Amino acid sequence: MTVSESSALADAIARSFAGSAPGEPAVSPLRALGRRQLSGVEVLAQSVATTAPAATMVLLPTTLLAYGSPFSGLVIIFAATIFVTAIAWCTSQFTRRMVASGGLYTFVAQGLGARAALTAGVAMAVKYLGSGALTMYHGGQAVIAVAAQFGVEIRGPATGMVYLVIAGVVLTTLLRGVRFAALAILVVEVCSLVFIVALMVLPGSSAEPALPLSTGSGSALLPVVLAVLFGLAGFESVTFVGPEARRPMVTVTRTVLATPMLCGALFVFAGWAAWSGRADTLVGAYLHGTGTGVSPVVVALLHLGMCCSWLASSMASSNAASRLLYTMGIEGVLPAVLGRTHRALRTPWVATVTALAVVAAGVPAFAVVHGDARVGLRIALLVGYVLVAVATLGFLVRIGELTAPTAWTARAAALVGVVLVGYIVGGHVVDGRVGALATVAGVVVGAALWHRLLARSRHAALVAVGVFDSPESADVLPGAGAFAPNARGDMALVATDHPDAVRR
């Protein structure tokens, strides 16, 4: 041991005896979730499953062949991967510095304040509750398609029973615990992904798949853009389970950055398969079943693989939505009952049941208006992406850690996000549809009204917006930290020169 090391150790020992415990112990506002449970693999499962890569690898070739040239689709996939990776880089600026169960909602609060955070919260709630319903709807349709391959026709009231069973399985899995849910998600997604990739490796069929071409007056590439964004979006869902990860600032940050690149590589492969003709068998089996000469076993396995991918995505989306509702319940911007957790399982059971109830109620709507509703989900997510990119600048400037590369990345990502929102909204308005425009207006106006209501009746809740996992008294070595009441009145770790600091 060197002289300097010996001196540092002596100083630490002296501080441990000199320190005094604060009047009340500092505890994390998110401790009820059961912190530090998930491994890196389980964290990755939450992020990847939300994007439904296996299902997207079937939808992408179908969309590329139907609405434009596969080569143009490849260019769009590359560009979209770069854009989403830039958003992931902005998100990582928060994940490497804080851990939160509110995801982008909490991050925006740290950079832009409560008003913008509520806008992001509305956007994220729309996205994840809507995605949970959309993917559950498609998962149920895949179950019905698989049953049809075995000669079982599911119609009428029996269809409703299928969705009730699916919702019950998802709810039970999520209530069982976050680790159990993550492992279940990982298994079903990997199995379906392996099968679909293997099917693409096979030579294409001799017959060209018959695909209907777009007849809208908007851009022919708009459906391709939406399909790619659908596949790449969702990496940020891993931030909602940050407090439950064992090494959150490491594993969550790595996953946030790796997921867009991993999914982007898979989707580039799917685009190449469409371009080279190797996706013809896959597309034909998906659209026409055995009508193109594909084996009934292959058709059944394809629908089964998509079913697993859809339901894994529904489970992951519902899991993320439950953490968002839980965070808002803790803060008081939503009813406090949403902040309750199960004592044994450490899961936010009230928020989870609420999220699944909304998801299940939304499933029938997608059977009627799923086209416009799907676009609305993309728009809501893009609003959240733009806000977190701008919030990155505000947050890093406030803490004095903004660098030139991050500044340019955040500005470029925000600009591209705004352009995409305008492109999608404009394209749909030209086609006589107003769903995208209504989504933007609904998110912005709804958040503004929510903020005004809270300002009048629950001003303390606005102060609490942005809660994140903080070190507890037991996490800090004696004499190594100082604690003081924060803006919410809770004891929290602060700088040693804080005027109200009490050394521990």
Q: Is residue 450 one of the residues assigned to a domain?
A: yes
Which one is predicted more confidently, 184 or 220? Answer: 184
Task: Please tell me whether residues 484 and 430 are part of one structural domain.
Answer: no
Please give the single-letter amino acid code of residue 104. Answer: L
How far is CA 136 from each of CA 241, 256, 320, rounded to the nearest angstrom? 21, 24, 15
Residue 220: per-residue pLDDT: 61
Q: Is residue 1 one of the residues assigned to a domain?
A: no
What b/e readout covers 225-254, taking b as 16+ CB neighbours within 10 angstroms?
bbbbbbbbbbbbbbbbbbbbbeebeebbbb
Identify which of 57-66, 157-166, 169-178, 284-293 has the greatest average pLDDT: 157-166
Task: Please tell me whether residues 385 and 481 are part of one structural domain.
Answer: no
The pLDDT confidence band at residue 181, using thresholds 50, 70 and 90, is low
Please check the confidence at residue 9 and state whether its pLDDT lies above 80.
no
Residue 196: per-residue pLDDT: 83
Between 218-227, 343-352, 382-391, the lowest mean confidence (pLDDT) is in: 218-227
Task: Please tell me whether residues 299 and 345 are part of one structural domain.
Answer: yes
Please check the confidence at residue 447 and state whether its pLDDT lies above 50.
yes
Please check the confidence at residue 370 and state whether its pLDDT lies above 80.
no
Mean pLDDT, the chain, whole residue set? 83
Q: Is residue 6 one of the residues assigned to a domain?
A: no
**Hey, which residues does 469 pair with through a beta bridge?**
99
Q: Is residue 13 one of the residues assigned to a domain?
A: no
Which one is predicted more confidently, 74 or 180? Answer: 74
Domain carrying residue 489: 472-504
Task: Please tell me whether residues 330 and 268 are part of one structural domain.
Answer: yes
Task: Please tell me whether residues 226 and 301 are part of one structural domain.
Answer: yes
Task: Please tell me whether residues 502 and 363 are part of one structural domain.
Answer: no
How far is CA 226 from each of CA 76, 233, 379, 387, 445, rounded to the nearest angstrom? 10, 10, 10, 20, 24
Between 153-167, 170-184, 223-237, the lowest mean confidence (pLDDT) is in: 170-184
The pLDDT confidence band at residue 443, using thresholds 50, 70 and 90, is very high
Q: Is residue 127 one of the residues assigned to a domain?
A: yes
- Over residues 248-263, the mean pLDDT reads 94
Task: Please tell me whether residues 316 and 328 are part of one structural domain.
Answer: yes
Q: Is residue 10 one of the residues assigned to a domain?
A: no
Task: Please tell me whether residues 222 and 113 are part of one structural domain.
Answer: yes
- Over residues 456-474, the mean pLDDT reads 83
Task: Please tell me whether residues 89 and 238 are part of one structural domain.
Answer: yes
What b/e readout covers 51-65, taking b as 16+ CB neighbours within 10 angstroms?
bbbbbbbbbbbbbbb
Counted domains in the chain: 2
Distance CA(458)–CA(348), nearest Å, equals: 23
Between 23-32, 98-107, 117-126, the lowest mean confidence (pLDDT) is in: 23-32
The pLDDT confidence band at residue 284, using thresholds 50, 70 and 90, is confident
Q: Is 446 helix (H, G, I), strand (E, B) or coil?
A: helix
Cα angle: 299, vertex 304, 305; to 5 degrees: 100
Residue 333: per-residue pLDDT: 95
Residue 7: per-residue pLDDT: 62
pLDDT exceeding 90 applies to what percent of the chain? 40
Q: Are 469 and 34 in contact (CB under 8 A)?
A: no
Distance CA(74)–CA(44), nearest Å, equals: 25
Between 6-15, 325-334, 337-346, the lowest mean confidence (pLDDT) is in: 6-15
Could you give phi then psi for residue 278, rounded to 5 degrees? -75, -10
Mind giving me the DSSP string for 118-129?
HHHHHHHHHHHH
Task: Please tell me whether residues 187 and 214 are part of one structural domain.
Answer: yes
- Over residues 290-304, the mean pLDDT reads 81
Q: Which residue has the tokens 């379906």?
A: 192
Task: Please tell me whether residues 484 and 406 are part of one structural domain.
Answer: no
Q: Is residue 315 one of the residues assigned to a domain?
A: yes
Residue 482: per-residue pLDDT: 67
Q: Is residue 26 one of the residues assigned to a domain?
A: no
- Over residues 5-9, the mean pLDDT reads 57
Which one is predicted more confidently, 137 or 283? Answer: 137
CATH code assigned at 170 = 1.20.1740.10
Distance CA(248)–CA(180), nearest Å, equals: 18
Mind giving me the DSSP string for 40-71?
HHHHHHHHHHHT-HHHHHHHHHHHHHHHS-HH
Could you give phi then psi for residue 293, rounded to 5 degrees? 85, 10
Tokens of 438: 């209504």
